[in-house]
A and B are shown apart, each in its own frame.
Chain A
Amino acid sequence: MMTLKVNGHDHQIDAPADTPLLYVLREDLKLNAAKFGCGLGQCGACTVMVDGKAVLSCVTPLVLLEGKQVTTLEGLGTVEAPAPIQRAFMEEQAAQCGYCIAGMMMRAQALLQKNAKPSDQEIRAELEPHLCRCGTHMRILRAVHRAARLMDTAGLSSAIGVSSATGPLSATQGSAR
């Protein structure tokens, strides 16, 4: 039994120490924004934040999460109150099938928290580990720029609505199955 901190809440998890975080998020906590893509850390669909950094949850065993803070897309905002990164992706219509988008948003969020005004080149380099087969790359790029502007005007770059996110409800509910 270990304590896993997710989106500001402590959860008691009964699973072997080598269980990937992704399995616990989806199966035990029913937080389904992070997706299983390849299971090898090569596609980025499972990306969440751990202590503010983007991490591939399919290759991150529970043993590495002792005392660390996990943030999933559900922890950023809700349908009623989407976080800037979520608003930006909706306003740019950056999702097509949406499977990769939750992971993309999490890495983009982590990027914007350490670099409030990334250049096009920096965004491309940062999102390199993420695959998107629909081909919405240009919209994703625009969405990250838009999110940077939204955060700038709202002063929200570090504000994450963790308190409002206990359930599986998310701004990307449509794709979060």
Chain B
Amino acid sequence: MSKAPIIAGIAAALVIGAAIAAFAIVWRPAISPIEPPVPQAFKPELVKRGRELAAIGNCNNCHTLRGGKAFAGGLGVPTPFGSVYSSNITPDPDTGIGRWSEEAFRRAMHSGVDRAGRHLYPTFPYDHFTNVTDEDDHALYAFLMTRQPVHAPARANDLAFPLNQRFVVAGWKLLFFRRGTYQAEPAQSANWNRGAYLVEGLAHCGACHTPRNALGAEEVSASFSGGDVDNWHAYAINARSPSPVPWTGQALARYLRRGFDPDHGVARGPMAEVVSNLSSADESDVQAIAVYMASVFGSPSGDRVRNADAVKTRTNSPATQAASATQADPTGAVIYAAACAMCHETERPLPYGGVDLALSTALSAPDPRNAANIILSGIPPVAGERSPIMPGFAASMTDAEAADLLAFLRARFSTQPAWQGIEHTVADARRLQTVFLETSPGPHNAPVEPTQRDKP
């Protein structure tokens, strides 16, 4: 008797087994649609809590397109694999989440699966949102289901095969996604734990500030070591922070709540949108985030403290550094004198005066991207609010001229080694920042004390 049928039988069994396993990994059931709940079904206090949580989650930032309706989606999120477009999370029954039960919403937050059972791309940061408690999801659901419904069909993602097949996401989850809620550290304070819960969960700080691997997953071993978002560098926010003055809990709380700190400057780029949201979040939550993040930054080394003192007392940048920077980049020095110094050297207080550039994290950062973005595009004013402002210089400087300026600024104001390939970075910034500014919703609140906002 031949062994062939036995082998064939084993092979068939393996194939069927693998198919069943694959099916179990990929397949998720649909959750029955519901009749959209009326807004009156949710208690006002719950909706208010949901609003504060949604601000911490920065939901509007990805789910709103510039000039579009709030939460109606359609914003393209560029990834190395193509663009993924955000979905409509208004309670529109046909194109939004109007027919999603709270259970379906919770499943999306906890495991990245939509109501119909389709796997969601991890541009929706469910690797963080899985930490969010049912109680907080309950409030978020109440907030979203009471928004103005907007009819806005989803825009198809711009991904190549096989990434455009959602079963691939199931494989990604198998490799990188760990479901679970935040586990408190009993040795730490309640405030610290509250902050950790928010940072690792809803606030999803690591989504930008942690580097990603080749498959787009956060490198857990390098948490908060700096990442990339929309052609901005999201700085390291741990011991590797490039900030000339080390961050403290107090400075973080001020910065996150008001959008600027005298020792660090004004939030801009995607972070401007984050602090714009945090200015309307619950103050104690923002305090807790600051407490936790201060411990992530850790205590600065003696060297860093001494350098920071030198920066703050303006003894860090002696005349010799200024002279050698001017000699090395004379064109940059001339541009700085005429275009930058009259705001950045007047010592007018932040946020309306320009920051002393020796305090600038952008100029001490590992690459010149953020500084290039700011020089080209400036800081646009927030409509209808007092806000910091800086003119952009894209129209008045060529790439080479902006590169001269950047080389000078680096030599003059930072103790870090010279940047390489600056002109190339400027060219990229000119191309990409334009797109970012045209699509990103932008900050809606100016970074001032929100308590002052309603006053005349």
Contacts and interface: CB of A to CB of B under 8 A. Distances in A.
Contacts of B401: 64
Contacts of B390: 41
Question: Which of B342, B380, B397 has the most CB atoms of chain A within a 10 A radius of its CB?
Answer: B342
Interface in A38-90: 39-42, 50, 53-56, 59-61, 63-64
Contact of B396 (A40, A42, A60, A128): A60
Interface string B388-405: 011101011100010000
Contact of B338 (A42, A61, A121, A128): A61
A40 B397 contact: no
Given A19-B338, A40-B343, A59 B391 contact: yes
A56 B391 contact: yes
A59 B395 contact: no
A17 interface: yes
Contacts of B13: none
B396 A50 contact: yes
Q: Which size bracket describes the interface of A in this complex? A: 20 to 34
A173 B380 CA distance: 32
B334 interface: yes
Contacts of A40: 342-343
Nearest to A121: B67
Interface in A17-37: 17-20
Contacts of B381: 128
B395 A129 contact: no
Interface string B379-422: 01100000001110101110001000000000000000000000
Contact of A60 (B331, B338, B342): B338
A63 B396 contact: no
Contact of B391 (A53, A64, A129): A129
Contacts of A56: 391, 396
Nearest to B337: A18
A177 B339 CA distance: 25
A63 B67 contact: no
A42 B391 contact: yes
B380 A128 contact: yes
Contacts of B397: 64
B332 to A, nearest CB: 10
A79 to B, nearest CB: 29
Counting chain A CB atoms within 10 Å of each CB, the highest count among B339, B342, B390 belongs to B339
B217 interface: no
A64 B393 CA distance: 11
A39 B395 contact: no
A60 B339 contact: yes
A64 B339 CA distance: 10
Contacts of A63: 331, 334-335, 338
A55 B338 contact: no
A136 to B, nearest CB: 19
A53 B394 CA distance: 10
B398 to A, nearest CB: 8
A17 B395 contact: no
Nearest to A129: B391
Contacts of B389: 42
A64 B400 CA distance: 10
A66 to B, nearest CB: 9
A39 B391 contact: no
A59 B334 CA distance: 11
A19 B335 CA distance: 10
Nearest to B389: A42
B395 A50 contact: yes
Interface in B275-326: none
A41 B338 contact: no
Contacts of B337: 18, 61
Given A39-B342, A61-B339, A18 B396 contact: no
Contacts of A54: 395
16 contacts: A17-B334, A18-B337, A19-B338, A40-B342, A42-B389, A50-B396, A56-B396, A59-B342, A59-B393, A60-B338, A61-B337, A63-B331, A64-B396, A128-B380, A128-B381, A129-B391
Interface of A: 17-20, 39-42, 50, 53-56, 59-61, 63-64, 121, 128-129
Interface of B: 67, 331, 334-335, 337-339, 342-343, 380-381, 389-391, 393, 395-397, 401
Given A41-B390, A64-B397, 13 more contacts: A17-B334, A18-B334, A18-B335, A18-B337, A18-B338, A19-B338, A40-B343, A41-B339, A42-B389, A50-B396, A56-B391, A59-B339, A60-B339
